[in-house]
Amino acid sequence: MSIKTTTRPPKRGIAFFDLDGTLLDNRANTIPESTRRALDLLRPNYYVILSTGRDMDTHYSVRYKGMVQPDAIIHQNGSKLTIGDELLFEHTVDRELLREIYEFCSERGFCIGTSIGTEDFFINPARKAASDRAFLKAVRRNFVPFEEIFERDIRVTALSYAGDLRAEKEIIEARFPMLELFAFNGGTGADVVERGFSKAEGMRTMCRHFGIDPTDTYAFGDSPNDTALLRAAGVGIAMGNADEEVKAIADYVTDDVSSDGIYNACVHFGLI
C-alpha cells in the first residue's frame, strides 16, 4: 500500500514574539486588531512562534494562545518548548532546590511561585495579586498554597517573582547563584530562570527543528528577558513601550503595542 504524502512549501524564516507588552496590550487586555492582521499576513511565509515567560498552557494564558495560534511556543523562557500539542522539551527544577527556595522565601515574606494548569502556587500570594492589579489591572488567579507542590509531587519547570525587585533581586541571586531574575516591563516582578535557559536557547532549538537559519529570524520584545532573544535573532525589534535597556540593544525600535507597533515593523522590514 502506498502512502500519499504532501510537501509544504518552504518558509522564509521565523518570527518570534513575546506576549505581554508585545503582542498583548496589557492595559487594554487585548491583542490589537492590527497585530492580529499582521500575524495572519505573516503565516504564509514565516513561522509564527510565541516566546514568553508564561506557561501558555495555564488557565490564565491559554486563551491568548488561541488568539495567536502560533506554530510553536517557547514557554517560561526556554524551560518548556511545544509544537502544537507535542512537548518538544521540558526542564524540571530539582526538588531539593525548589524546597530550599521555598524555605528561604517563606522566611522573608518574598513572593515566588508558579502557575500549573488551573492552579497558581505562590508564597505570599497577596503580593502576586497586588502585582497583577498593577500590571494586568485584574487578578485572575486560583491561588493554592505553594507547599502543595511537594505534597502532590507536582513537576515545576520555572518560577516567577512579584515584589520590589530592586531590594530583593540581589538577595535572592546571592543565595541562589544558579538563578537569574529578569524584570518584567514596569518593574512589578520578574521571571526566575535557572542559568543556562533562555528564550535565545529556545530560539536555536526551534530553528533546528524547522530547518531555518538563525539569520532568517525576527524577534519582537519589550522586557529584559527578551534581550538575549533579540541579540540572537537575525533582526531584534523592540517595542516603543519597551524598557530602555531593551531598546538599546535592538536593531530597530517600532511603535508601542497600542499604536500598531507589530504591524508597522512587519511592513518596515517587508515581511508583509
Rounded distance between C-alpha atoms, residue 220 and residue 227, angstroms: 10
Could you state, in order of their start, the residue ranges of all structural domains in the chain? 13-91+197-268, 95-194
Question: With 50 as the cut, is the pLDDT of residue 6 above it?
Answer: no
Do residues 251 and 236 lie in contact, with contact meaning Cβ atoms separated by under 8 Å? yes
The pLDDT, as a whole number, for residue 5 is: 38
**CB within 8 A of 151, min separation 6: which ones?**
none
Q: What confidence tens digit (pLDDT) does each residue in 207-252 have? A: 999 999 999 999 999 999 999 999 999 999 999 999 999 999 999 9
Distance CA 52, CA 74 (A): 6
pLDDT, position 131:
85
pLDDT of residue 256: 98
How many distinct helices (H) and strands (E) make up the chain? 10, 14
More confident residue, 139 or 69: 69
194 in helix, strand or coil?
strand
pLDDT band at 183, cuts 50/70/90? confident
Mean pLDDT of 163-188: 88
Q: What CATH fold (topology level) applies to the domain 13-91+197-268?
A: Rossmann fold (3.40.50)
Least confident interval from 62-76, 80-94, 181-195: 181-195
Q: How far apart are CA 121 and CA 141, in angstroms?
A: 10
CB 251 within 8 A of CB 237: yes
13-91+197-268 and 95-194 share one fold: no
pLDDT in the model for residue 44: 97
- pLDDT at position 60: 85
Residue 78 per-residue DSSP state: G
133: pLDDT strictly greater than 60: yes
Assigned architecture for domain 95-194:
2-Layer Sandwich (3.30)
Residues recorded for the chain: 272
126-142: burial string, b at 16+ Cβ within 10 Å, e else: ebbbbbbeebbeeeebe
**Can you spell out the DSSP letters for 219-239?**
EEE-SGGGHHHHHHSSEEEE-
pLDDT band at 3 (very low <50, low <70, confident <90, very high): very low
Q: How far, CA to CA in Å, does 92 sit from each of 29, 64, 119, 154, 219? A: 30, 24, 18, 10, 26
